[in-house]
Amino acid sequence: MGPNAKGALLALLAFGIFSTHDVIVKTLGASYSPFQIVFFSVLFGFPLVTIMLIRDATPGHLRPVHPWWTLLRTTAALCTGVSAFYAFSTLPLAQVYAIIFAAPLLITILAIPILGEQVRIRRWAAVIVGLCGVLVVLRPGGTTFELGHLAALVAAFGSALASIIVRKIGQDERNVVLLLYPMLANFVVMGALLPLVYQPMPMLHLGGIAAMSILAFIASTLVIAAYKSGEAVVVAPMQYSQILWASVYGALFFDELPDLWTVVGAGIIIASGVYIVLREGGKNNSENTPVLQSRSRFETGTVPRVRMFQRRAIAAEPPRD
């Protein structure tokens, strides 16, 4: 098996596991507030963070080099986690993924003011077409616009903002700083809100949240292995396989079948995202490549995001022929 094929298969497996994680989110969301789910997700994620802290031999402290950018990224991750969990709880899985898939398009737009990226006409056209795909999914005037739709849009924007800030400050900040601050913020903010929404959880549901943390950790590790094995231009589009998992899981567990407009809109969004990935993977790509090197999974700040270590793994790879 060639390295690109291996990378693609690892990525497909990873995003299948991520989709299983989201099925648990949706299941628990029928009974609990997203604030409570996020809080306990962070709580179960801290042991994994502790292991990473022990293994991180990089000298330095935990004070951010860029405190304001770190604060903005932390806020974006916090909003993304709550919004995504709420959207999964209230909307069909496939519809949530279709909207969140707009994040790479938003990354391309945000790269202009934050990274000084120059976006030429073809990528602008892909962004515009992709955003039109979001409108097809939402169908303004043709369907009821619910709070879940707004939450999915907030998750897409927050994920894009968090990813682009990593591209801006990631070379200066320690990986553990980028990983720890969103989790601490979630723990403090969701813990403060928990008394307002708390519902007692049986051991089965607590086990479900523990399983979420383990699944996310395994999937993130597989994403790293995928990028180490295959080229980013091959691995990155595999994230869109989640729409297939969403369709299968939605039909099996939640009696959800994506309607025609969701399928059409998702197809437009995916085609636009893949085009941007291919453009940035070409010979004339920009030095920032905001989509390729920052896309693995939307940032929630609830579990250890191994994506921070993915950047080091990619950077350490020898050039490919």
Q: What is the pLDDT of residues 149-166, one digit of tens each?
A: 999 999 999 988 988 888
Residues in the chain: 321
Q: Determine the residue type at 95.
A: Q
Choose among 189, 181, 166, 165: nearest CA to 64: 181
Spell out a b/e string for 274-295, using b for 16 or more CB atoms within 10 Å of the CB, else e: bbbbebbbeeeebebbbbbbbb
For residues 196 and 62, is the Cβ–Cβ distance under 8 A?
A: no
β-bridge mates for residue 143, sequence order = 140
Look at residue 140 and give its three-state secondary structure: strand
Local structure of residue 238 (DSSP, 8 states): G
The H or E element containing residue 194 is helix 175-197
**Token representation of residue 72:** 């903005």
pLDDT above 70 coverage of the chain, percent: 83
Q: How far apart are CA 53 and CA 130, in angstroms?
A: 39
Helix (H, G, I), strand (E, B) or coil at 172: coil
pTM surpassing 0.75?
yes
- 317 confidence band (pLDDT: 50, 70, 90): very low
**Residue 173: per-residue pLDDT:** 78
Distances in whole angstroms, Cα of residue 273 to Cα of each of 125, 149, 266, 301: 11, 20, 10, 24
**52 or 238, greater pLDDT:** 238
Interacting residues of 309 by C-beta distance below 8 A, sequence separation 6+:
175, 224
Pick from 90-99, 169-178, 188-197, 291-300: least confident: 291-300
pLDDT given at position 117: 80
pLDDT at residue 26 tops 90: yes
Average pLDDT on 68-80 reads 91
Q: Give the pLDDT score at 75.
A: 93
For residues 75 and 299, which has the higher predicted lDDT (pLDDT)?
75
Q: In angstroms, what is the C-alpha Rg of the chain?
A: 19
Tokens 């989110």 identify what position?
25
Q: Fill in the amino acid letter for 289.
A: T
Residue 191 amino acid letter = G
- Quick one: tokens of 192? 């403060």
DSSP 300: -
The answer to whether 48 and 304 are in contact (CB under 8 A) is yes
Tokens (6 digits) for 234 = 């091959």
Burial of 303 (0-12, 13-18, 19+ CB in 10 A): buried
The answer to whether 269 touches 133, Cβ cutoff 8 Å, is yes
Phi-psi sector, 174: left (phi>0), alpha (psi -120 to 50), beta: beta
Cα 260 to Cα 114: distance, rounded to the nearest angstrom: 36
